[in-house]
Structure 1
């Protein structure tokens, strides 16, 4: 499936205290959805407040990027968290961000897992159920952003939650349509021209070339551009300009 329009999302607010990783202000002039770190893998109260205010000012949709409690590992270490504990922590993160979104005159519009949790809920039914339970516990039937065909989307759909399919412009894919683990060589695409070309291919034709050279269907409604990639702002601008030049409308998902 291809789309006449596509959402561009980026992971933002990934700093803590005096440390900042992403150029939030510049990226918010390009993307249409902001996955805001909620304090468990990155982010703190001041950062969440600042990013929500900037996003609301620019009409960018605010999403809660929920994670395992793993500041030291940036949320990229898989953890065996009991399901009831994980559900509570997901709800906690959504609730924290909602305070700052409301203060900015906006709201949390969707949820996206981060890092190891994102990859875990592709296959792990128990952890996927816990994330869904956390969203329901937070009190809003928020859309869940994730990989097509994931356990997260299957379970969310059964619970009546909207799901939004996502693809990654700068990550390598396996032949099965999953992301190549970051620990493997070539997992992150660093060539800007390749990232731009892959973005157009996914948005216009719904396919991407896997690491082994096979074409893989991606069916994405939203395209992720990682904010911590070197040169992320300029790359995001190039992706958006090329998409619009190819006749693809860049807008937040409905």
Structure 2
């Protein structure tokens, strides 16, 4: 029935505080979006997650963000393009040090939070992210929403653009994510998340918040690591995908 990658946001802690169960999630997912210190994460956390990912053969991705530790990268910001490009490259470079030390490499880049949503439509900010990726490593893949300006510009720049879908987020009829501040933006029922995961992997479609069935063709499926019961939910999704004839493996 096809192939799908499972990615999750990991390393989203800071100092003694940890948000995600990195070790257990890394036994389920095939790609790890590692926080690079701007919305969460620190040097020790990045090093630990890279080592664990390398041990398990999980592809490492740099989850780049606006510089917003207090707001967890979810607050809207206007960053000058040259500054944003430099900060994207900076975050990738920091994670690459720890990936190499663990015997592997950073394989892709995924924006986080407000930056992720901004580059769906904002060409200036999307171009800045692409400039930052090119500055860091032109061989990197870029993970993002299908139809986004980010992926369009990545493709034009010669970067490998990888589409992703969200089993635990509500969609608009236009194929974008419902803003987190709105009711029903996050799908919390485990059975619904599992069912949506299989539907996305097998048919490339999902039911939008309005009830309309929309096309969401994706090579990777994101499961948020900061939701309650994230590990068990990820395991259920993985098992149901395999049972449905879908091969689960990294896009890299």
TM-score of the superposition, structure 2-length normalised? Answer: 0.99
Q: Give the CA RMSD over aligned residues.
A: 0.6
CA contact (8 A) 2:138 2:159 kept: no
* CA deviation after TM superposition for structure 1 residue 139, in Å: 2.9
| Distance in 2 between residues matched to 1:225 and 1:198, nearest whole Å | 11
* CA deviation after TM superposition for structure 1 residue 78, in Å: 1.2
Which residue, out of 63, 66, 79, partners 2:64? 66
* CA deviation after TM superposition for structure 1 residue 50, in Å: 0.1
Please list, as runs of the form range in 1=range in 2, the aligned pairs for 1:197-212 lying within 5 A after superposition.
Answer: 197-212=195-210
| Distance in 2 between residues matched to 1:159 and 1:34, nearest whole Å | 24
Question: Which residue pairs with 2:90 in the alignment?
Answer: 92
Residues 124-133 or 135-144, more deviating: 135-144
Question: Which residue pairs with 1:164 in the alignment?
Answer: 162
Please list, as runs of the form range in 1=range in 2, the aligned pairs for 1:207-226 lying within 5 A after superposition.
Answer: 207-226=205-224
Which residue, out of 43, 51, 54, partners 2:52? 54
| Distance in 1 between residues matched to 2:216 and 2:206, nearest whole Å | 7
| Distance in 1 between residues matched to 2:199 and 2:76, nearest whole Å | 31
* CA deviation after TM superposition for structure 1 residue 7, in Å: 0.2
Question: Which residue pairs with 2:225 in the alignment?
Answer: 227
Equivalenced residues, count: 252
TM-score of the superposition, structure 1-length normalised? Answer: 0.98
Gaps of 5+ in 1: none
Question: Which residue pairs with 1:80 in the alignment?
Answer: 78
1:12 aligns with 2:2: no
Secondary structure of the equivalent of 1:18? coil
| Distance in 1 between residues matched to 2:54 and 2:10, nearest whole Å | 14
Residues 38-85 of structure 1: per-residue CA shift (max 9 Å, x gap) = 000000000000000000000000000000000000000110000000
Which residue, out of 106, 125, 128, partners 2:126? 128
Please list, as runs of the form range in 1=range in 2, the aligned pairs for 1:172-191 lying within 5 A after superposition.
Answer: 172-191=170-189
Question: Which residue pairs with 1:115 in the alignment?
Answer: 113
Please list, as runs of the form range in 1=range in 2, the aligned pairs for 1:235-250 lying within 5 A after superposition.
Answer: 235-250=233-248
CA contact (8 A) 2:126 2:150 kept: yes
Secondary structure of the equivalent of 2:221? strand
Question: Which residue pairs with 2:147 in the alignment?
Answer: 149
Residues 112-121 or 136-145, more deviating: 136-145
| Distance in 2 between residues matched to 1:93 and 1:99, nearest whole Å | 10
